[in-house]
Structure 1
């Protein structure tokens, strides 16, 4: 009988101890999906790892599936044939977070970050004049690449025991951006001159525009350091 009572006491103590350990378990991992991006048919996810009560590391990844421009940005009549444009790409964003609350990945935070983006575009038909008489067409393709560092502010809340809500309020970054467009063809000397003249008339308010035209290709390169904006993101997360 005494042995039975002793066994019951041991089991009770063990269960209480295990319960206490479960309650004090710290959920340091958080996998999130950006709902705002989903609404725009862009897949954006982030993994966050809590380090201390004030700090965390996060890694974001987004993918833009192949698509065309939305109809509302294409002017009536589509004189530049923007409807033919197709683009896709991805971005990677590592960041460090500092939470002011000291409640481990909860509350208002500052997030220094770095972002690398790469996007491709294709099937853009560029029209140009040939000696002011007829129009020529080049099928252009190209890419956009960005490397920038910045700072974002945001706030995160826990929703129950496992879920979270992360609000990317606003962020800005500065770095390098390069846009390259290229097309191939068999251009006569007159066509090369006309293309060069047309490219030289492009008015770019900020940045550096360069171009090269030869018998078999035409290329435009635009480099800029304009700041980029990040924010207005609403992310639903699962903590584990």
Structure 2
């Protein structure tokens, strides 16, 4: 009888350890509003921290400039509750972005006008800090609202005869907010 109880206790412990989640795959549900797909993979590193890798692709036009490209955001999260993947966290992050820019405008030449399309590339690198709260429901479903500040600096390389001044890069360069609401699956 003692052997059966011991075996049952060991099996229950193994099942409990196997059900502890170490990974979460998430999707930012706000990103489609700005024609972007934003995805995250988070992995528990210690009992109170995790590493998250975010990636996005976009085709967004905040003004006359159309952006299409991608970005990568590595982030290290410190969970203030001491329980990685579930609780309040602070996360310093880095970000690399690569975009193709297009803008169209009317060019006036004496008495005639023509439509001109300029193309350029924009590469930025930066970082910041984000605050958030992640919940794990039934050890399977994740909800992660976050808000942070960051800075990205970069350079525009014009591919046509236009000028860097023809492109409005304010949405992706300089200081800005990083916000979202991610949902996902833990495993």
Distance in 2 (alpha carbons) for counterparts of 1:47 and 1:61: 9
Shift of 1:127: 2.0
Q: Of Structure 1 and Structure 2, which has the larger fraction of its residues in helix? A: 1
1:226 to 162, 165, 174: 174
2:50 to 41, 56, 66: 56
Shift of 1:102: 0.5
Matches within 5 A, 1:100-179: 100-122=80-102, 124-130=103-109, 132-168=110-146, 170-179=147-156
The gaps in structure 1 that reach 5 residues or longer are 1-5, 75-81, 184-217
Shift of 1:111: 0.6
1:32 to 10, 15, 26: 26
Shift of 1:23: 1.4
Q: Does 1:23 align with 2:16?
A: yes
Q: Of Structure 1 and Structure 2, which has the larger fraction of its residues in strand? A: 2
Distance in 1 (alpha carbons) for counterparts of 2:6 and 2:17: 17
Distance in 2 (alpha carbons) for counterparts of 1:229 and 1:178: 20
TM-score, structure 1 as length reference:
0.66
Contact 2:121–2:159 (Cα < 8 Å) also in 1: no
Partner of 1:198 in structure 2? none
TM-score, structure 2 as length reference:
0.82
Q: Does 1:89 align with 2:83?
A: no
Q: Kindly report structure 1 stretches of 4+ aligned residues shifted beyond 3 Å.
A: 9-13, 38-41, 179-182, 222-225
How many residues align structurally?
Answer: 181
Partner of 1:46 in structure 2? 40
Shift of 1:180: 3.8
Distance in 1 (alpha carbons) for counterparts of 2:177 and 2:96: 14
